[in-house]
A and B are shown apart, each in its own frame.
Chain A
Amino acid sequence: MKKIISIIMVMALMLISSLTVVKTASAEEMKMTGTITKIALAADGKSATAVLKDSKTEALVTITITDDLTLDKFKDKRIVEGDEIRTKYDAEGGKNTSKMFKKTAGC
């Protein structure tokens, strides 16, 4: 009996582990270009959300930003609402986490 329970527990553990791996692997990298309609900085300044209007579909997409360089650009308004952005982000569990967030404009 003990042996059967052990086997079941090991199998359950393996299942949980594989599900975790699948969950990790399920984060999908997305790309888009869009115009910022809203920026909200967290009170502690360590993260922000930006709502982008997709230039192709006009859908509104909320992206969470945590990298210091981009946060700094929000704080001193080098990036503001109305700017056009090219972004890459991981979409997972209903949350979109920025991997790249750059203005399209350059000289």
Chain B
Amino acid sequence: MSRRITAIMLGCLVLATFAQAKDHPGKAQILKDGYQGPKTCEKCHHGKAKEFLGTVHWKHASKVDHVDNINPNEEYGMKNRIYTMCNGNDIVNNLKEVPPNALGKTKFTGCNTCHPGDHTSDVGSTGPEAEQAIDCLICHSSKYDFSKRKPVKDNNGKVVMTQDRSTEAAANIGRPTIKNCMVCHEAAGGGAMIKRGFSMSKEAEVHVSKGIICVDCHQVKNHKFPTGRDPNNWAHDGIYMTCAGECHSETPHKDADYNRHTAKIACQTCHIPKTGGAFSKDFTKWEKQSNGFYEPSTLKREVNETSPVYAWYNLTVSNTPQFIGPKGSRTDGKSKIYPFKIFQGKAYFNKKNGQLLSMDFAPPIANGDSLAGVASAAKILGIKDYEPVPGWQTIYFGSNHQVTPKNKALSCANCHAVNGVLNFKELGYGSKEVDKLTNPELYFEKLLKQQQENE
């Protein structure tokens, strides 16, 4: 381990200890005056509420310049995207009470359930009322009582999201913990660890096992979050991140052979050998659950059960109704080989223009009628001329979390043995090149030496 990484890890440990031991400087004042929402925070952190309204976490969208077939002047994201992992979005699947099912039961559901407002001030809202509706504590409090955050109907029948604005929650604030992040990020796509299928537990993520938390890597500036380049994660705050930077260099290995690989192989390729979650869904066929509600039929695996597919990726994205995934090749001079979870989803396409249609989940949740969901979404969006036909879409999700300890990362033979994980032919190599790339001459002596050292 390099001295640099050791120093950073020690720093994290010291910071974590310090952060736990040291209270927020405003704690005494909060305990004295109580918490009145963002205006309490604004007494010291002036302008932060307005600043937050301009971020992806509030807007659920941003301009996108790396994806094919979209308008560069419009904003895209969870707010309005249509694809087959989440066939609804904040607009058509706005938080609402679903109609009663056959058992007379109803419940609240919606894509924007995790939006950090109160639903009265919703995705992308602006102005003083929106600023005061921000749920600062859900991200910043280590004592947030999540049972206090729930959708209810107000006196006018409007669905609002309640928040924990207790003095106890406000008095225990700091940098967001893994729990603060994962309370929303693990629930996407229809349940715990379904969408991207990774766990941020000590057992599953080597960074977590060393005390590193989400915001140590996603280093937030002015509430703007740096993100990676998942081909299916379009909205961004304008800041990107990679492994190489403060923690890891471009040549992070002691072994020069491994370091040579970093020019063409992304770190994730060797260091994230497994993910999980849903790998296929059918939004045209909803399954009745024992509680009388319906869910889209879903094939899923545990978080460490899915082996990735590997492809060249130049950080731009092919986007058609049937495919969302990486663009790139071994010859474009920009691409590296990255790991992806391939997801295939079935939903309805508009026969009249070939475009994917979205779905309001409320009708099918209640009675399984997926076409009623399409009709409701079309009505919300003002689409009149459509003819729904079922079809499949393939999506490549980037594998960017659940980094394995280095002794479990892929090694020479995992890729260069004849039955290795990389399909060199599909990656664009000719027969003679494949023979050379899968010749044991490449790795035999090195692995033999390692084996002897370990015996």
Contact = CB atoms under 8 A, between A and B. Distances in A.
Contact of B113 (A69, A76, A107): A107
B187 A55 contact: no
SS of B interface (majority): loop
A94 interface: no
Interface in A51-107: 54-56, 69, 72, 76-78, 80, 84, 86, 102-107
A105 B109 CA distance: 8
A69 B203 CA distance: 11
A11 to B, nearest CB: 40
A69 B199 CA distance: 10
Which of A72, A76, A80: most chain B CB closer than 10 A? A76
A84 B365 CA distance: 15
B345 to A, nearest CB: 15
A33 interface: yes
Interface stretch (B189-197, B335-343, B414-422): B189-197
Nearest to B143: A76
Chain B interface category by residue count: 20 to 34
B91 to A, nearest CB: 14
B185 to A, nearest CB: 10
B214 interface: no
Interface stretch (B2-10, B144-152, B382-390, B440-448): B144-152
B145 A106 contact: no
Given A54-B290, A55-B291, A107-B187, A76 B144 contact: yes
A87 to B, nearest CB: 12
B206 to A, nearest CB: 17
B17 interface: no
A18 B152 CA distance: 56
A97 B287 CA distance: 27
Contacts of A78: 146, 179, 183
A84 B110 CA distance: 16
B20 interface: no
A106 B146 contact: no
B110 A107 contact: yes
Interface in B176-222: 179, 183, 187-192, 194, 201
Given A69-B201, A76-B179, A107-B110, A102 B192 contact: yes
Contacts of B147: 77, 80
B289 interface: yes
A86 B145 CA distance: 22
B111 A103 contact: no
Contacts of B187: 103, 105-107
B64 interface: no
Contacts of A35: 291
Contacts of A54: 290
A77 B188 contact: no
A100 to B, nearest CB: 9
Nearest to A35: B291
B111 A107 contact: yes
Contacts of A33: 289-291
B410 interface: no
A106 B189 contact: yes
A54 B191 CA distance: 19
A103 B184 CA distance: 13
Contacts of A55: 289-292
B319 to A, nearest CB: 22
Given A72-B179, A76-B145, A77-B146, A107 B188 contact: yes
B384 to A, nearest CB: 28
Interface of A: 32-33, 35, 54-56, 69, 72, 76-78, 80, 84, 86, 102-107
14 contacts: A55-B292, A69-B201, A76-B143, A76-B145, A76-B179, A77-B148, A80-B146, A84-B291, A106-B189, A106-B191, A107-B110, A107-B114, A107-B188, A107-B189
Interface of B: 86, 109-114, 143-148, 179, 183, 187-192, 194, 201, 289-292
Given A103-B187, A107-B112, A107-B190, 16 more contacts: A32-B290, A33-B290, A33-B291, A55-B290, A76-B146, A76-B179, A77-B145, A77-B146, A77-B148, A78-B146, A78-B183, A102-B192, A103-B192, A104-B291, A107-B187, A107-B188
